[in-house]
Amino acid sequence: MARSCAVERPIFTTRKRFGHRFESIPSGVMLTAASYPVRRSVWAGRAREDKEMPLRDIKVVDLTRARSGPTAVRQLADWGAQVIKIERPASHGPESLGGNRDGFDFQNLHRNKRNLTLDLKDERGRDVFMKLSAQADVIIENFRPGVKHRLGIDYESVAAINPRIVYGSISGFGQEGPYSNRPGLDQIAQGLSGFMSVTGLPGQGPVRAGIPIADLCGGFNLALGVMIALFERERSGRGQWVHTSLLESLLTMMDFQAARYLMNEEVPGQAGNNHPTNLPAGVFETSDGAVNIQASADHLYARLCEALGCSELVSDERFATGDDRLERRDELNEILLGYTRTWSSADLIDRLAEIGVPCGPIHNMEQTWADPQVKSLDMDPQFEHPRLGSLKLLGQAINMSRTPETRATATADPGDHNDEILGELGFDSGAIEKLRSDGII
């Protein structure tokens, strides 16, 4: 997916380069695609050592913060995309990007990237950004919708110099609409989407998810959208603006609960640990804890009853069909609990697994990562950080037979690659030092 660009003159900041000499560009000169030429690719030679990485040729400029945007970028970086993360220079004060930089959250989100500090509010900083963008395949941002336009780094501005750019955006509520410019974070989207109204025990009142589900789904959706746009670009030769929001992502995650309302005008409520429409499916106490059982299909229900020693329930007219079991959910669950409480969790799981009834333990995090099945999945890759040492982080859920995810580099510190990246863009040491002393990098 390499990009070529007609070269008229190399430009960065507001000055024109002649050898090692720079001259100011007169005011009013319009900067076009030819103003940001590919003199030397900033990503030249930066592909991962593993030449089989599936996204090794994709060049990404990362403007993200918090969680949703970094989640999207991580899906690309972990599969080999060459990512340059842009942050505010340290001289401008600390930037809130998502918690303690050395903490588990930030380190988990931002691995496999190089780091460039850049003041995008300064014209010289924007010019560096445009020079990067002229060579990039993808830009990802999660500012509020108006911010990118105010900075002059929106899709239209970038596409004017690089029509092949795929520009990805995540916002709280969408790029348009009455709430579009409101600040939107994960829990706000959980409430607005209806998600909190179906989570928790009946009558408990609204309950949030135990994970930032809107942020995560927003990031996954944008990563998918970017990949679709890159695939389409192979046919059309043109990039496009790809955008989603926390709200849109959670609306799709509402799935059958949303469809219940859209088709039947049925407003779903809280069902606690029970499946909202299929029975029996939920948490069942045992002699030493509790397990999950999901046996709502008729043949699974019959197997469950036989294994528990209550096969007479299969022919009981009160519970003959799925609708009957749903109508008498509490009554059926109480009967089944009388049997499951006589089993240990391990014995019940083993017995139901033998006969093909879905059943499993309910772990805390320590138990999860000690579970032999989880261990076999190799989901805790180790990264070596130059300051923090060896770090175990969370791996990808996708397995590919020829091109596995990369576990190349831990999260970079701010500006770790300033000189390297700017040098690749054609800046000499004097120009780089000038940008640093002026607070641009």
> Which residues does the annotation mark as catalytic?
215
Are 441 and 118 in contact by the 8 Å Cβ rule? The answer is yes
Which residues, in sequence order, are CB contacts of 418 under 8 Å at separation 6+?
115, 116, 117, 432, 436, 441
**What distances in angstroms separate CA 438 from CA 48, 94, 122, 434, 441, one per listed residue?**
33, 17, 10, 6, 8
* Radius of gyration of the chain measured on its C-alpha atoms: 27
Quick check: helix, strand or coil at residue 365? Answer: helix
Are 202 and 173 in contact by the 8 Å Cβ rule? The answer is no
Are 190 and 154 in contact by the 8 Å Cβ rule? The answer is no
How far does Cα 271 stand from its chain's mean position? 28
Tell me how far apart the alpha carbons of residues 275 and 163 are, in angstroms, rounded to a whole number: 48
Beta bridge partners of 384: 390
